[in-house]
Amino acid sequence: MASRAGYSNAYANLPTASPGGIYSVSLTLTSLAPSYGTLSVTSSPTGGAAIYVDNTYRGGLTPQQISLTHNQYTLRLEHSGYNSYTDQSMSTAARRRP
């Protein structure tokens, strides 16, 4: 087993060692830090639509870029005098935050 703080443990099954035998083992540790992506939100007419992600107001109006962890979200836009718009959106991990 290999371990490090902030990473998932990695395991390997090793064969029984022979006297004088040499074995090479490669293990990969995966970071537990959440992956983030950017969701770019625009609207037509340009500007002024309130942005909700999973029914939570994001405190801004379009156009806007929102940093989200890699996941699927429900996006809703609301603008006075217009029907609201709802769609499923996927935030794709592009980078990791320290």
Domains of the chain, by residue range, sit at 35-96
Cα separation, 83 vs 75, whole angstroms:
14
* CB atoms near residue 62 (< 10 Å): 18
**Element spanning 68, H or E:** strand 64-69
- Is the pLDDT score of 98 beyond 70? no
Q: Model confidence over 18-72: pLDDT tens digits? A: 777 777 777 888 878 777 788 888 888 877 899 999 999 998 899 999 888 878 8
